[in-house]
Amino acid sequence: MPSLPKHNALAPARRRGRGFSFALPALIALALFAGGCARPAPTHEKMDVSFLPAPGDLLSSAGDRLDPAGLRARAATATYILVGESHGNACDHLAEASVISLLSQGATKPANLPVIGLEMANPALNPVLAEFTAGKFPPEELEKRLDWATNWGHPFAKYLPVFRADGKDPLAALSPEDRAQLPRQIIGPAPEQLAFLREIMKSHPQGRSTDDPRQTARFQLIQSVWDSAMAEQAVRARKATNRPVIALAGTAHVEGGLGIARRIAVLDPGAEILLISPWRGDDLDPNDANVRVYCPERFESRMGMTLESRPYGEEFQYVVTEVTRESRADVAGLRPGDVVTYAGRHRVRSLTALHLAGSDAFRNKEPLTLEIRRGRQCLSVDLGPLGVPGSMGKPAPAPTPTSSPTGEAKP
C-alpha cells in the first residue's frame, strides 16, 4: 500500500503575543471541517480480500488467508499442481520455492513426493537434472550445466531458490518450444481463450500494429504447441513415476485453466488439477486459480532501476524502489520514490508499457524517456538510446520539469 503523506503536526501555540489567540479558533475550525466531511462507507462494494496480505502470503480463491496446512489439504488429492509466475518477478520464484517445500515436507511417504517440472528447461537436458537430483553437484552449478543464458535468458539467480527448495526431489523438465521434440498431439486453444490470446499478441511489438489473420493463426499455434508440450511432459512424468507433478510456468499458461490444464485434461482425463497463481492486488477473480500468492509486480531494469506496483485508488502506480549508484538511471536523475507515469508515449498502467516503450526506442533509434511524478512535480527523465554501443552509463541531462507553476502533472 502507498504510504500516506506525512502532514506537519500542528505547531504548539506560542504563550506570548497573539499566537495563542489565533491557534484555538483554527483548531476548532479544523475539528468542524473534519467532522463535516465524514460520510458513511459504502456497504454494497464486494470485499475482494479479508486481510491485508504481505508479499508471499497465500490466499484462497475467495480472498481469505490460507495457511500451510490449508495448502497441503487443498493439494492432497491433486494429480497436477500448476504454479504460475512472471519470469522476472523474484517474489514469484520465492513463492514457488515455498510451495515446493511445503508440499514436499507434507508428503507422508516417498511415493507422495512431487515431481518438479520446469517450463524453462529443455527435455534434452534431463540427464543434467537427474545428476542434480542425485546430489552430484550443487544448485549453483545448474546455470552453467543447463546453459541457462542461452536456453532461457531470465536471470538464474531469481530461480535459484526453486532449485534449493528441495534438491533431493526428482525433476522432470517441461519443454519451452523444442522443434525437435514437438508434442505428439497439438491441442488447439479453447474458443473462450481466443480473445485473451489476441490481447497477449498485441503486447508483442511485432503483433500490436497488424490484424493479419496468418500472423494471428501462427501465434495461436505457437501457444498451443507450447502448452501441449508442457502438458505432455507433465503427463509423461506422472505416468513414469506415479507421483504428483508440480509444474512451474508463466501465468498465461496457468490462469483460468485454459492453457496447460486444458491439455492435461485431454491427455489424462479425470485427473485433479490445482492452479496456483500470483495475485498482484487487482480484482480477485476466483476463476483464475484455486490458490493465490500475493506478489506485487516488480521490474528490475538493466539500466539500474527497480519498479514495483502499489495500489493507488482504483488503479496502480509504479514506484521506483531502488536505483543503482552510477547506473544509467542514476545518471539520468531517477530517484527512489519517483512514480513513473509515462514510458515514451505509453501511459504506465502496467509494466507492459515499459516493454513497449523500450521496443519503440530501440526500433526508432530514439532515447527512452520516462515521465515521473516526484511529490507535486512532474519531471522528464532521458535514459538515452537503447542498443547503442557505449551509451550505457553515458551522462544524460538532469530531469526536466514539465509541470505547470502549480505543480499539476499533465494528463
Are 297 and 280 contacting, i.e. CB atoms less than 8 angstroms apart?
A: yes
For residue 214, the SS3 value is: helix
- By C-alpha distance, which of 291, 223, 290, 287 is closest to 260? 223
Higher-confidence position of 386 and 184: 386
Long-range contacts of the stretch 12-19 (C-beta < 8 A, 24+) = none
**pLDDT interval class at 402 (50, 70, 90):** very low
Q: Kindly list the structural domains of the chain, giving each domain's residue range(s) and its CATH number in brackets, ordered by start.
A: 58-294 (3.40.50.11550), 298-401 (2.30.42.10)
For the chain, how long is the longest CA-to-CA vector? 90
Find the mean pLDDT for residues 304-331: 87
- By C-alpha distance, which of 163, 116, 124, 118 is closest to 140? 163
pLDDT score, position 182: 61
Distances, alpha carbon 366 to alpha carbons 25, 205, 327, 385, in Å:
58, 16, 19, 5
**And the C-alpha cell for 87?**
519470469
Report residue 322: phi and psi, to 5°. -160, 140
Q: What tens digit of pLDDT does each residue of 30-63 get?
A: 444 444 445 665 667 677 788 878 888 999 998 9
Q: What tens digit of pLDDT does each residue of 339-379 get?
A: 999 999 999 988 888 888 988 898 888 999 999 999 889 99
* pLDDT > 70? residue 115: yes
Report residue 5: phi and psi, to 5°. -60, 140
For residue 408, the SS3 value is: coil
**And the C-alpha cell for 402?**
514539465
The CB density around residue 228, as the number of other CB atoms within 10 Å, is 25
Rounded Cα gap, residues 114 and 94, in angstroms: 18
* pLDDT > 70? residue 5: no
Rounded Cα gap, residues 179 and 380, in angstroms: 45
Q: Show the DSSP H helices in 107-192 as ranges.
A: 126-133, 142-145, 148-151, 156-165
pLDDT score, position 60: 93
pLDDT score, position 109: 67
Find the mean pLDDT for residues 112-120: 82
DSSP 333-377: T--TT-EEEEETTEE-SSTHHHHHHHHHHHHHT-EEEEEEEETTE
Q: What is the CA 37 to chain-centroid distance, rounded? A: 38
pLDDT score, position 269: 94
Q: Percent of the chain at pLDDT above 70?
A: 73
- By C-alpha distance, which of 172, 142, 144 is closest to 160? 142
pTM over 0.95: no
HEC string of 41-65 equals CCCCCCCCCCCCCCCCCEEECCCCE
